[in-house]
Every structure is written in structure tokens, then in C-alpha cells.
Amino acid sequence: MTNRLLAVLAVALAPAPVFAIDGVVLINQSTVMAAGGFPYVISSSGSYKLSGNLTMNTSPSGNFLGSDIATVITAGHVALDLNGFSITIVNNISKLTHSIVNIYAPVVEPAITIRNGSLSWGGTGTTAIGFQRIGIYIIGSFSRVEDISAFLNATLGEYFLTTAHNSIIRHVITDGLLEVSCPSVVSESIGRLLLETLGNSCASAANADYVP
């Protein structure tokens, strides 16, 4: 986990929400830019849904604690529905000296759910040795990641997903590593599977390692 993300620091303010009829907060490129740009910060519990694709460009020094991050979740009990849309990070900087993360939950808050969409990366740039592209990084436990696809054209050490213990990973397809702290359940998923055991074993069913 070293050299990939900075330690947890202060929580940023959330942008003004736009609510759907059912009380779900809608997120799209226009609402993100109107709120000040990336990262889009979710700091209140509740339901959030993409209503369009999100695309973020990297920067030389990063946009959040020295990394480039598209979405930051700083509250527990958050459900983020990608709604079939994608979160894409475009890097045109050669040998970028920080990590790139699509969705980052940097606080020890439980019950974060991310589902139903895709994460992707584009551009002509690269990251320097020791820095990576990461799809989802969740520090809090009791989280759920379902029906997500992500393809990085990954090198062997690149991560798609990192979650804490007592999580459920289901219907995830990626060419990156799945790093799941145990006890957790990984079901019907494909990736370079890596289980970090913390005194208990992880349950695993109908999974497969990705073979490039």
C-alpha cells in the first residue's frame, strides 16, 4: 500500500447538491464543474447517482492531498450509483509523480456502496515508478462494490480495488488487482485476485484470475 496514497487528513467541503425527485443527489460533469471542479466531494450520508459520464484530467501536482482524484467520499452510509455511466481519468503527463484514483474514501466510516458502472483511464501519459492508477480505494469496513468494470491495461502491480474487512465484492471485472482485507466475500468476479488475510479467511466463489 506504500507510495500510493497520502495519509488521511482534513475533510473538504461538499459541493451544493442537486436532488432528483426521489431525494437522490445527481452528479454529472456540469454539476461537478459548477461546484468548483474535481475532486467531487461527498461529505454527507445518503444516495448519489451519476446522470452522465465524468471525465477528469490530471494535473502536475495533484488535486487532493498530492494525488489526482475524481471522487472523494468522506462520510459513511453512502450509496454511489454510477447508473451505467463511467468515471474516466485522462493523463497526458509523462512520468506523473503521484497516484491517480477514480473513487477514494479516505476515512474510517462504514457502509459505502459503489455499483453499476465503469471506471476507465485515458491519455498518452504515464506514472513514475512507485505511483499507480487505482480505481476504488475504501478505508472503511462493511463496504460493498458491485457490477463494476475497470480496465487499465494494467501492469502486474496496479490495483483496481482496495477495500477494508467485512466487505462484499460482487460482479467486478478488471485487469487490475483486487485487494480485499479479510474477512470479506468476493463473488463472481474476475481480476488479478489478491486477498490480504487479517486473522480470518475470505470467502470466494466462482472467481477467476485475469490472464492477459
Summary count for the chain: helices (H), strands (E): 1, 17
User: Which residues, at least 6 apart from 91, have a Cβ–Cβ distance to it below 8 Å?
Assistant: 57, 58, 68, 100, 121, 122, 123, 125, 126, 127
Rounded distance between C-alpha atoms, residue 60 and residue 109, angstroms: 30
Q: Which residue has the higher pLDDT, 193 or 113?
A: 113
Least reliable range by pLDDT among 16-20, 65-69, 142-146 = 16-20
Q: Look at residue 133 and tell me if it is in a domain.
A: yes
Q: Look at residue 3 and tell me if it is in a domain.
A: no
pLDDT at 2 over 60: no
Instruction: Name the domain count of the chain.
Output: 1
Q: Which residue has the higher pLDDT, 82 or 189?
A: 82
pLDDT band at 208 (very low <50, low <70, confident <90, very high): low
Q: Look at residue 10 and tell me if it is in a domain.
A: no
* Gap between the terminal Cα atoms of the chain: 23
* pTM of this structure: 0.86
Q: Look at residue 173 and tell me if it is in a domain.
A: yes
Q: Look at residue 117 and tell me if it is in a domain.
A: yes
Strand partners, 17: none
Q: Look at residue 155 and tell me if it is in a domain.
A: yes
Q: Look at residue 2 and tell me if it is in a domain.
A: no
Residue 40 contacts residue 70 (beta carbons within 8 Å): yes
- Mean pLDDT within 35-54: 96
According to the per-residue pLDDT averaged within each range, which of 46-50, 97-101, 163-167 is highest?
46-50
Least reliable range by pLDDT among 8-22, 57-71, 184-198 = 8-22
Share the mean pLDDT of the chain: 84
Structural Rg of the chain based on CA atoms: 16
Q: What is the pLDDT of residues 59-68, one digit of tens each?
A: 999 999 999 9
Q: Which residue has the higher pLDDT, 46 or 13?
A: 46
pLDDT at 103 over 90: yes
pLDDT score, position 110: 92
- Parent domain of 52: 25-206
pLDDT band at 170 (very low <50, low <70, confident <90, very high): very high
- Mean pLDDT within 113-119: 97
pLDDT score, position 61: 93
Least reliable range by pLDDT among 15-19, 106-110, 138-142, 172-176 = 15-19
